[in-house]
Amino acid sequence: MKDPLDWTLVSSEYLFRDSWLTARKDTCRKPDGTLVTPYYVMEYPDWACAVALTEDKQVVLVRQYRHAIGRSIMELPGGVIDKTDASPLEGVRRELMEETGYAFRNIEPLGVISANPSTNNNLMHLFLATGGVKVGEQHLDENEDIEVHLVSIPQLKEMLRRNEILQSLHVTCILYALEKLGELQY
């Protein structure tokens, strides 16, 4: 059933397409008949990330350079859900192995969020992975240089307090995971 606030897509034109970035210009009609044009949309594949705990309850973090902000930062392991991944769960399982070399006994969904629903069309799938064991080496993409770090849950909470995790989608995942683990007080 259509929501009374939903717009109707009148036309759409692709302005740019590349492997990591697709931009389009839409013309939309609001419920009152007003045209909104142009409305720019960035298309990206869906992403997945996980708060990943080893068997001894250490949190697996990754540190890597992020060119858009010109800094190396701490993040959760994760990335793009590939077209070859059967599901977001399989995508995050693959990303965990590639970026960290860890396999996890259990991976459960925490939710789905949007980075910016006004301009981006993709979603971020959030997971909690537990029972992690180092089973191999990293298998990084050509442009990735990733350090793996293990921290305790109290250390992770302190990193949040100090604003040391800048990736906002990852902060959301951490908060959902801490709540699931009974580590969040309201």
Q: How far apart are CA 82 and CA 45, in angstroms?
A: 8
Question: Which of 54, 50, 61, 75 has its CA nearest to residue 180?
Answer: 50
* Residue 105's pLDDT band (cuts 50, 70, 90): very high
- 59 and 138 share a domain? yes
- 30 and 89 share a domain? no
- Show the 3-state SS of the chain: CCCCCCCEEEEEEEEEECCCCEEEEEEEECCCCCEEEEEEEEECCCEEEEEEEECCCCEEEEEEEECCCCEEEEECCEEECCCCCCCHHHHHHHHHHHHHCEEEEEEEEEEEECCCCCCECCCEEEEEEEEEEECCCCCCCCCCCCEEEEECHHHHHHHHHCCCCCCHHHHHHHHHHHHHCCCCCC
* Residue 19's pLDDT band (cuts 50, 70, 90): confident
Whether 1 is covered by a domain: the verdict is no
Question: Which of 78, 81, 84, 85 has its CA nearest to residue 100?
Answer: 78
Task: Specify the number of domains making up the chain.
Answer: 2
Q: Which residue has the tokens 């990754």?
A: 62
Mean pLDDT for the chain overall: 96
CATH code, domain carrying 81: 3.90.79.10
Q: How far apart are CA 93 and CA 145, in angstroms?
A: 19
Q: What is the pLDDT of residues 52-102, one digit of tens each?
A: 999 999 999 999 999 999 999 999 999 999 999 999 999 999 999 999 999
The domain containing residue 117 runs over which residues?
A: 47-180
- 38 and 85 share a domain? no
Q: What is the pLDDT of residues 111-143, one digit of tens each?
A: 999 999 999 999 999 999 999 999 999 898 888
Name the pTM for this structure. 0.94
Q: Which residue has the tokens 């990084």?
A: 140
Q: Which pLDDT does position 16 carry in this prediction? A: 97
Q: Which pLDDT does position 149 carry in this prediction? A: 98
Question: Which of 129, 139, 49 has its CA nearest to residue 98?
Answer: 139
Q: Which pLDDT does position 1 carry in this prediction? A: 79
Cis peptide upstream of residue 88 (ω within 30 degrees of 0): no
- 69 and 56 share a domain? yes
- 25 and 61 share a domain? no
